[in-house]
C-alpha cells in the first residue's frame, strides 16, 4: 500500500483550517484556542481523553455549534465560513459518519443512500435509478457488489458503515469525518474499512479519523493531532512519533492529592479467578484479590471489562474457568446467589438499577437489608431509622433528613445513597461500576474515603472505572482489558494512567502482559 502524497509536505491549500477556536459553555471553557488543520489526500487522527475538547471541535466543524464570537477562524478550502451551519458545512463538502450507524433499518440500500436527494421521474421517486446509482457508487469506491434492494437491517455492521460512507460520497464529499468508526466492527471488518479509507485518500479526500484505539491511529493515519484540556497540544506526522509519546501528550497530568492514601495491609485471598471466560465477551481472565485490597479494572467501550463484573455478580454465567470465593467454588447463577455469598454490586446507572428516586433515603438504604431489620416478619421502624442515620452520617449525605426523597438529591448524593444501601450489608466483596461517574469532586473524595474504609475493614473491593487517573490514585492494582483479554497488569511503579491508557488502546509492546494487538 503506497502512502499517497507525502503527509510531511502538506499540499498547498488545507481542506479545513480551524485556528484559535474558543468555545465557552456557561462558566466553563470547552475550547481555549484550539487548532485543527486537515489536508487533502490525508488521513488525520484526532485523539484526546473525554473532555479534552474533541467532540466540541467536531461539532464546530459540523456547524452544529458556533465558536465564541470574535474567536478564531473557520476556513474550508481556503474560504472563510462566516455563518457555519450543518447545511452550509455539508454544502462545502464536509460529511460526517456518525459512530452509531444512522441508517433506517427498514430501508433498502438504494433508499438509504438516496434519502434526502432522491432521483426523480417527474414528481415520482425513481427507485430503479436510485438502485443503479447506489450499486455503481459502491462498486466504484469499494469494489463491492451490494445489491441496492437489500434491506439495511440485513447488512453486516461493516456493510452498513460502507453505506453510510457511500451516502456522503453520493453528495460529493471532499472531507469525511469518521467518529469512532470501528467501535462495532470486528477485526476483519476493520481491515476492509481501512482499505476503503486508503482508497478514498488516494482520490484526494481529506479524512478526519477519531478513535480511542492507538493501534488504529498508528495503522491508518498519516498525521495525528492531540487534544488536551481544550487545546491542541501536539500535531505531527505519525511516522515521526510513537504511541507512548502520543499517550503522554494526551495525559499531561499528574495524580493529585485528590486521592486519600491509606495503610496497605492485604490479608488472605478472598477471591481467586482462573481462566474465566464468557463467549463473545471476554476470555482467559485470571487474578487474585485479597481482603483489604482495592483492585481496578478498566477498558474501552466494548472491551469486556463490564462483562467481567456482570459475570462475577451472577448477571451472566461464565462459559469457562473457575472462581473461588473464600476457599469455596463460586459460580453464581443469579444475583441472589451472588448476594447470599457476600458479593454486592453498585451499578453505574443508579437511576435505573441502584436507587428508587421516588422513595426516601431511609427506604432506599434499608431496602437491601430488610433481613437485618425485620423481626417476626415486620420491619422495625426504629432500627430502620438508625441504619439510615448511620448511612447518612458515614457518607455525609447532604440532606434534610432520612425521609427526604432521593429524587431531590444531587447526583453525587444519590450515588452516596446507593453506596450506603450496599455498604450497610456487611459484604465480603464489593463490585463498583463507575462509582464516581457524574459526581462532583467533593463527593468523589467522600466516596474514595468510604471505599478505603471498607478495604481497611477487611473487604475486597473491585472498582470498574474509565477514569484511569482515579484507578491510579485509588487502587492497589489494576487490570486493563483490551478486546476481551487482560492486556496489562499494573501495580506500584507501573500503576500510571498513561501506561494504562496505552494498554487499553491496544499498544502494549513495552508492557508486561500479552500483546493483544489484532485479536478479534
Partner 1 sequence: MTLAQTEITLPGPGPGRVRAWTATLSGGDVTRLVALATVALVFIGFAVTTRGFFTSWNILNVIEQSAIPGILALAMALVILTGGSDVQTGGIDLSLAANMGLSAAIFAVALRAGWGEPAALAATLGAGMLVGVVNGLAVVRLGILPLLATLAMSNIVGGLELVLTENTVIPATSPILNVLSAGSFLGLSSLTWVLILVSTLAAVILHASPPGLRLYATGGHPEAARAAGVSVGRLILGSYAVAGFTAAFAAILSVSRLSASSTGTGEMLLSILAAALLGTVFSRRGVPTVAGTLIAVLFIGFLSNGFQLKGLSSNWVSGVQGALILAVVAATALNRRKGG
Q: Which residues, numbered 281-340, are part of the site for partner 1 (CB under 8 A)? A: 281, 298-303, 305-307
Q: Point out which residues pair with 228 in neighbouring strands.
A: 231
Cβ neighbors of 310 (< 8 A, separation 6 or more) are 316
Q: Point out which residues pair with 18 in neighbouring strands.
A: 36, 74
439 binds partner 1 (CB under 8 A): no
Of 39 and 483, which has the nearer Cβ to partner 1?
Answer: 483
Provide Rg for the chain, Cα atoms: 26
Site for partner 1 in 59-118 (CB under 8 A): 87, 98, 102-107, 111-112, 114-116, 118
158 binds partner 1 (CB under 8 A): yes
> In whole angstroms, how far apart are CA 258 and each of 255, 297, 328, 444?
8, 19, 37, 9
229 binds partner 1 (CB under 8 A): no
Of 103 and 285, which has the nearer Cβ to partner 1?
Answer: 103
C-alpha cell at 22: 474558543
Please answer whether residues 300 and 501 qualify as being in contact, where contact means their C-beta atoms are separated by less than 8 angstroms. no
Site for partner 1 in 133-152 (CB under 8 A): 144-147, 149-151
Beta strands in 145-258 (DSSP E): 175-179, 206-210, 223-228, 231-237
Closest CA to 452 of 479, 469, 470, 438: 470
Give the whole-angstrom CA distance, residue 304 versus residue 63. 35
Cβ neighbors of 304 (< 8 A, separation 6 or more) are 281, 282, 481, 483, 484, 485
175 binds partner 1 (CB under 8 A): no
Report the 10 Å Cβ neighbour count for 519: 14
Cβ neighbors of 458 (< 8 A, separation 6 or more) are 267, 291, 292
In the chain the first and final C-alpha atoms are separated, in Å, by 22
Of 153 and 381, which has the nearer Cβ to partner 1?
Answer: 153
Site for partner 1 in 363-422 (CB under 8 A): none
Of 251 and 312, which has the nearer Cβ to partner 1?
Answer: 251
156 binds partner 1 (CB under 8 A): yes
Closest CA to 369 of 330, 422, 311: 422
Among 135, 159, 216, 363, binds partner 1 (CB under 8 A): 159
Report the 10 Å Cβ neighbour count for 300: 21
Could you tell me the smallest distance in angstroms from the CB atom of residue 198 to partner 1? 16
Of 141 and 398, which has the nearer Cβ to partner 1?
Answer: 141
Among 26, 70, 123, 371, binds partner 1 (CB under 8 A): 123
Please answer whether residues 471 and 259 qualify as being in contact, where contact means their C-beta atoms are separated by less than 8 angstroms. no
Site for partner 1 in 193-222 (CB under 8 A): 212
Among 8, 13, 140, 186, binds partner 1 (CB under 8 A): 186
Among 91, 128, 140, 153, binds partner 1 (CB under 8 A): 153
Could you tell me the smallest distance in angstroms from the CB atom of residue 515 to partner 1? 19
Could you tell me the smallest distance in angstroms from the CB atom of residue 440 to partner 1? 15
Site for partner 1 in 262-281 (CB under 8 A): 280-281
Give the whole-angstrom CA distance, residue 392 versus residue 406. 12
Could you tell me the smallest distance in angstroms from the CB atom of residue 265 to partner 1? 28
177 binds partner 1 (CB under 8 A): no
Positive or negative CA dihedral for 347, 353, 358, 363? negative
Site for partner 1 in 474-493 (CB under 8 A): none
Of 52 and 365, which has the nearer Cβ to partner 1?
Answer: 52
> In whole angstroms, how far apart are CA 50 and each of 55, 143, 217, 221, 514?
8, 36, 17, 20, 27
Could you tell me the smallest distance in angstroms from the CB atom of residue 64 to partner 1? 11
Phi, then psi, of 463 in degrees rounded to 5 = -115, 120
Could you tell me the smallest distance in angstroms from the CB atom of residue 127 to partner 1? 7
244 binds partner 1 (CB under 8 A): no
Could you tell me the smallest distance in angstroms from the CB atom of residue 189 to partner 1? 5
Among 37, 39, 44, 49, binds partner 1 (CB under 8 A): 49
Among 2, 28, 80, 124, binds partner 1 (CB under 8 A): 124
470 binds partner 1 (CB under 8 A): yes
Site for partner 1 in 417-436 (CB under 8 A): 434
Options 154-162, 231-239, 353-361, 401-409: segment touching partner 1 (CB under 8 A): 154-162
- 3-state SS of 383-425 is HHHHHHHHHHHHCCCCCCCCCCEHHHCCHHHHHHHHHHHHHCC
C-alpha cell at 287: 487474578
Could you tell me the smallest distance in angstroms from the CB atom of residue 260 to partner 1? 18
Phi, then psi, of 290 in degrees rounded to 5 = -100, 160
Applying CB under 8 A, the site for partner 1 has a residue count of: 71
Of 151 and 367, which has the nearer Cβ to partner 1?
Answer: 151
Of 66 and 149, which has the nearer Cβ to partner 1?
Answer: 149
Site for partner 1 in 494-513 (CB under 8 A): 497, 501, 504
12 binds partner 1 (CB under 8 A): no
Could you tell me the smallest distance in angstroms from the CB atom of residue 68 to partner 1? 25
Among 12, 28, 50, 263, binds partner 1 (CB under 8 A): 50
Amino acid at each position: 500500500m503506497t502512502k499517497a502524497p507525502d503527509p510531511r509536505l502538506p499540499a498547498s491549500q488545507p481542506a479545513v483550517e480551524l485556528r484559535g477556536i474558543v468555545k465557552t459553555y456557561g462558566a466553563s471553557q470547552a475550547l481555549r484556542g484550539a487548532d485543527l488543520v486537515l489536508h487533502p489526500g490525508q488521513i488525520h487522527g484526532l485523539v484526546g481523553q473525554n473532555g479534552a475538547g474533541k467532540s466540541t471541535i467536531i461539532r464546530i466543524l459540523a456547524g452544529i455549534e458556533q465558536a465564541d464570537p470574535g474567536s478564531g477562524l473557520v476556513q474550508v478550502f481556503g474560504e472563510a465560513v462566516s455563518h457555519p451551519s450543518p447545511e452550509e458545512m455539508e454544502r462545502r463538502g464536509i460529511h460526517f459518519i456518525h459512530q452509531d450507524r444512522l441508517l433506517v433499518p427498514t430501508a433498502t440500500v438504494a433508499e438509504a443512500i438516496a434519502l434526502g436527494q432522491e432521483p426523480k421521474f417527474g414528481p415520482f421517486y425513481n427507485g430503479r435509478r436510485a438502485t443503479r446509482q447506489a450499486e455503481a457508487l459502491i462498486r466504484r469506491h469499494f469494489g463491492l457488489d451490494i445489491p441496492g434492494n437489500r434491506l439495511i437491517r440485513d447488512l453486516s455492521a461493516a456493510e452498513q458503515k460502507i453505506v453510510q460512507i457511500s451516502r456522503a460520497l453520493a453528495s460529493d464529499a471532499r472531507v469525511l469525518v469518521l467518529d469512532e468508526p470501528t467501535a462495532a466492527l470486528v477485526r476483519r471488518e476493520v481491515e476492509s474499512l481501512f482499505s476503503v479509507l486508503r482508497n478514498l485518500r488516494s482520490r484526494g479526500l481529506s479524512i478526519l479519523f477519531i478513535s480511542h484505539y492507538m493501534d488504529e491511529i498508528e495503522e491508518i493515519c498519516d498525521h495525528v493531532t492531540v487534544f488536551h484540556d481544550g487545546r491542541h497540544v501536539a500535531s505531527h506526522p505519525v511516522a515521526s512519533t510513537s504511541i507512548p509519546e502520543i499517550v503522554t501528550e494526551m495525559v499531561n497530568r499528574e495524580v493529585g492529592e485528590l486521592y486519600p492514601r491509606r495503610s496497605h495491609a492485604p490479608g488472605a485471598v478472598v477471591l481467586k479467578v482462573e481462566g474465566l471466560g464468557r463467549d463473545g465477551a471476554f476470555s482467559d481472565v485470571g487474578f487474585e484479590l485479597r481482603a483489604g485490597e482495592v483492585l481496578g479494572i478498566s477498558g474501552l467501550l466494548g472491551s469486556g471489562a463490564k462483562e467481567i463484573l456482570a459475570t462475577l455478580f451472577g448477571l451472566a454465567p461464565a462459559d469457562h474457568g473457575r472462581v473461588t470465593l473464600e476457599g469455596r467454588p463460586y459460580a453464581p447463577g443469579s444475583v441472589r446467589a451472588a448476594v447470599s455469598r457476600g458479593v454486592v454490586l453498585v451499578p453505574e446507572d443508579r437511576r435505573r438499577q441502584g436507587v428508587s428516586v421516588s422513595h426516601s433515603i431511609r427506604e432506599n438504604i434499608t431496602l437491601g437489608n430488610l433481613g437485618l431489620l425485620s423481626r417476626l416478619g415486620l420491619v422495625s421502624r426504629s432500627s430502620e431509622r438508625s441504619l439510615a442515620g448511620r448511612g447518612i452520617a458515614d457518607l455525609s449525605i447532604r440532606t434534610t433528613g432520612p425521609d427526604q426523597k432521593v429524587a431531590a438529591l444531587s447526583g453525587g448524593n444519590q450515588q452516596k445513597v446507593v453506596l450506603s444501601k450496599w455498604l450497610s450489608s456487611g459484604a465480603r466483596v464489593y463490585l463498583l461500576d463507575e462509582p464516581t461517574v457524574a459526581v462532583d469532586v467533593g463527593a468523589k473524595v467522600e466516596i474514595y474515603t468510604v471505599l478505603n474504609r471498607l478495604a481497611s475493614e477487611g473487604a475486597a473491593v473491585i472498582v470498574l472505572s474509565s477514569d484511569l487517573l482515579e484507578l491510579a490514585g485509588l487502587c492497589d492494582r489494576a487490570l486493563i482489558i483490551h478486546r476481551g483479554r487482560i492486556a496489562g497488569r499494573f501495580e506500584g511503579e507501573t500503576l500510571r494512567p498513561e501506561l494504562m491508557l496505552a494498554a487499553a488502546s491496544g499498544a502494549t509492546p513495552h508492557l508486561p502482559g500479552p500483546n493483544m494487538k489484532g485479536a478479534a
